[in-house]
């Protein structure tokens, strides 16, 4: 103890548990290069083997464009649905006490732990024409499996936890005194929610939406079982990439993958910007 105090007083650096900055930074850069940068660089370099016309033809073909529309459209719809119901689930878990609350709270995280293929098979078993639920819906003309509806349902399933777990801690930290003050001043419940509660949780809600949307864009395992995978109808972009790889069209597959990579990177920037905005609004340290 005295030695440490003497070193600190004399201006020397006190001993640390981990090695110095230069060594740890070097390991960090090396690890990220091996795991992230080098594989992504290979993706870009393989795409550069195509000419511009070949690249444009690969990423704008009819089936590819149809897969873009389905992937991004279904992901947007699923993220919007999750914003509404994810907020409701987070609200119930934070504001109410009821029997089985811990079980419900654990079920929210189930899509995180469940293999995506298992989720797809389970949803198909429920919603197919001979499934537990689908057998009653199809006679009414409602088909939820093997079409774009199934894609949206699968993406809602895997995206819900992102919204709930992003909004839940913000709701827990919301000061109830502000709600009580608004009520004392004559505000209705709706006015209290829209003018007091919602502005404080809006950044977290936007972050949850962006995370659910980004997660849905790259989803594969839970979708292929329930989508039907019909070209131009229910074929998602990751399946297009898999199909090109099976046809040994590696350059075409990397071209489509590069488009998805750029879009995913943009979404990550948006998520980081929303999180920074949320920290500024709440006064949390960066």
**pLDDT, tens only, 142-170:** 888 888 999 999 999 999 999 999 999 98
- Interatomic CA distance for residues 128 and 252, integer angstroms: 33
Phi, psi (degrees; rounded to nearest 5) at 121? -65, -40
With respect to residue 22, please indicate whether it lies within any of the assigned structural domains. no
When pLDDT is averaged across residues 61-77 and rounded to a whole number, the result is 93
With respect to residue 79, please indicate whether it lies within any of the assigned structural domains. yes
**Proportion of the chain above pLDDT 90, given as a percent:** 31
Give 195's contacts (C-beta < 8 A, 6+ positions apart).
182, 187
The total of structural domains in the chain comes to 1
- Interatomic CA distance for residues 154 and 199, integer angstroms: 30
What pLDDT, on a 0 to 100 scale, did the predictor assign at position 17?
A: 61
With respect to residue 36, please indicate whether it lies within any of the assigned structural domains. no
What pLDDT, on a 0 to 100 scale, did the predictor assign at position 237?
A: 92
pLDDT band at 7 (very low <50, low <70, confident <90, very high): very low
Q: How many C-beta neighbours within 10 Å does residue 169 have?
A: 12
With respect to residue 204, please indicate whether it lies within any of the assigned structural domains. yes
| Max intra-chain CA distance, the chain | 83
When pLDDT is averaged across residues 10-14 and rounded to a whole number, the result is 55
pLDDT band at 86 (very low <50, low <70, confident <90, very high): very high
When pLDDT is averaged across residues 198-215 and rounded to a whole number, the result is 87
Structure tokens at 67: 């897969």
**Stated pTM of the model:** 0.82
When pLDDT is averaged across residues 268-274 and rounded to a whole number, the result is 80
pLDDT band at 282 (very low <50, low <70, confident <90, very high): low
> What is the CB-side half-sphere exposure of residue 147 using CA atoms within 13 A?
10
What pLDDT, on a 0 to 100 scale, did the predictor assign at position 158?
A: 92
Statement: residue 8 has pLDDT above 70: no
What pLDDT, on a 0 to 100 scale, did the predictor assign at position 1?
A: 47
Domain span holding position 72: 52-282
**Proportion of the chain above pLDDT 70, given as a percent:** 90
What pLDDT, on a 0 to 100 scale, did the predictor assign at position 13?
A: 56
Mean confidence (pLDDT) of the chain = 84
With respect to residue 119, please indicate whether it lies within any of the assigned structural domains. yes
Q: Higher-confidence residue: 175 or 284?
A: 175
What pLDDT, on a 0 to 100 scale, did the predictor assign at position 204?
A: 86
Q: Higher-confidence residue: 10 or 254?
A: 254
CATH code, domain carrying 57: 1.10.3720.10
Structure tokens at 152: 């949206």
With respect to residue 196, please indicate whether it lies within any of the assigned structural domains. yes
Q: Higher-confidence residue: 163 or 282?
A: 163
């Amino acid at each position: 103890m005295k030695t440490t105090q003497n070193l600190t007083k004399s201006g020397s650096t006190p001993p640390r548990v981990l090695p110095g900055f230069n060594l740890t930074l070097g390991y960090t850069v090396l690890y990220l290069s091996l795991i992230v940068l080098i594989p992504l660089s290979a993706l870009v370099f393989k795409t550069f083997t195509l000419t511009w016309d070949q690249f444009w033809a690969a990423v704008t073909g009819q089936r590819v464009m149809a897969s873009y529309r389905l992937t991004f459209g279904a992901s947007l719809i699923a993220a919007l649905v999750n914003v509404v119901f994810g907020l409701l689930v987070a609200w119930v878990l934070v504001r109410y006490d009821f029997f089985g609350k811990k079980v419900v709270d654990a079920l929210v995280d189930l899509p995180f732990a469940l293999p995506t293929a298992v989720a797809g098979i389970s949803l198909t078993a429920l919603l197919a024409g001979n499934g537990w639920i689908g057998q009653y819906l199809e006679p009414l003309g409602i088909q939820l499996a093997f079409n774009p509806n199934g894609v949206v349902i699968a993406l809602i399933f895997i995206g819900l936890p992102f919204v709930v777990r992003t909004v839940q801690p913000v709701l827990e930290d919301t000061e109830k005194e502000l709600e009580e003050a608004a009520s004392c001043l004559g505000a209705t419940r709706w006015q209290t929610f829209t003018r007091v509660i919602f502005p404080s949780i809006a950044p977290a809600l936007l972050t949850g939406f962006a995370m659910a949307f980004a997660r849905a864009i790259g989803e594969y395992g839970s979708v292929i079982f329930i989508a039907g995978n019909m070209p131009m109808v229910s074929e998602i972009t990751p399946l297009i990439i898999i199909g090109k790889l099976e046809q040994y069209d590696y350059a075409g597959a990397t071209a489509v993958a590069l488009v998805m990579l750029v879009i995913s990177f943009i979404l990550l920037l948006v998520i980081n910007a929303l999180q920074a905005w949320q920290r500024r609004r709440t006064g949390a340290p960066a």
